[in-house]
Amino acid sequence: MTDKFFKINFTSECIYLGERIKKGTFKPSISPQGKRYKQGRILTGILPVPYSTITGALRSLLGEDAEIHAIGKMTKYNVEYMSIAPYDSALVAAKLPITVEYLSNVAGEVYVKKTDTLPSLQAVASGFVMGGMKSKGFGACKVGSINEEYQPKIIEQEGRFLSRIYYDDAVMGMFGIQKENIVKAYWGYLFRRTSEFNGYYQKSLFEQSIVKNSYDFLVEVMK
């Protein structure tokens, strides 16, 4: 029998996850316009909601010391662009406009591991906020439904990993991922907080990695 999770279905008008600059455009670090997505090596219908992003968002809502472990994916989205002119309070004037790429009309799923120390998720039903540019109205997520007894199936065959998670035995184990079941890894780094103002970049398993014996909501079976 597999572990149980809270499955949260959410929508958002606009989300901006991470940041990188390319050809004068501020792009999210998670974007279907990225090189690997364009080359067709990643399933562009699904984008990751990293462990660090959603776990941090829920801890901001429920308490920074809350014992929460969550991960997710975006299953529907559009890519849009917006020009904004950041305000410089020292100069009392707006800076030159910048172009920002973001995701709009987003729908997705979040999975929260059920544990004895998990706090009540009642406040989550009213929604949560994740990602960057919150001051511009980005990242507000509405919760459509919460399945409190979601029990995933284990996919024994190899499949493409659909999210991002710390390369850490304890964290990966929360979601049924074992190091010996990682067939092919694509590495990256996710920020890991150690206190309110400090943290470091943790080596992490990224989407497109090939894994086996994993939960069905985290993999797409290879054909």
Q: What is the pLDDT of residue 88?
A: 58
CB-CB contact of 163 with 69 (8 Å): no
Helix (H, G, I), strand (E, B) or coil at 85: coil
Sign of the CA dihedral with 177 first, then 156, 207, and 81 last: negative
Q: Per the structure block, which two tokens stand in for 75?
A: 């299953």
pLDDT in tens, 118-155: 999 999 999 999 988 888 888 999 999 999 999 999 99
Predicted confidence (pLDDT) per residue in 35-72, tens digit: 555 544 444 578 999 999 999 999 999 988 889 999 99
Q: What is the pLDDT of residue 83?
A: 76
Instruction: Using the predicted structure, report yes or no on whether residue 91 has a pLDDT greater than 60.
Output: no
Cβ atoms 162, 46 nearer than 8 A = yes
Choose the CATH number for 5-221 among 3.40.640, 2.60.40, 3.30.70, 3.90.1570.
Answer: 3.30.70
DSSP letter (8 states) at residue 183: E
Of residues 134, 180, 186, the one with CA closest to residue 165: 186
Question: Does 75 have pLDDT greater than 80?
Answer: yes
Report the distance separating Cα 40 and Cα 105, nearest Å: 23
Confidence (pLDDT) at 35: 54
**Which pLDDT does position 206 carry in this prediction?**
93
Q: Is the pLDDT of residue 94 over 70?
A: no
Highest mean pLDDT out of 13-17, 27-31, 129-133, 148-152: 148-152
What are the tens digits of pLDDT across the range 161-216? 999 999 999 999 999 999 999 999 999 889 898 887 888 999 999 998 999 999 99
Displacement of CA 119 from its chain's centroid (Å)? 20
Q: What is the mean pLDDT of the chain?
A: 85
Burial of 73 (0-12, 13-18, 19+ CB in 10 A): buried
- Tell me what pLDDT residue 168 has: 96
Q: ∠ CA(69), CA(195), CA(67), 5° rounding?
A: 25
126 with 31: CB under 8 angstroms? no
Percentage above 70 pLDDT, the chain: 80
* The predicted structure's pLDDT at residue 205: 96
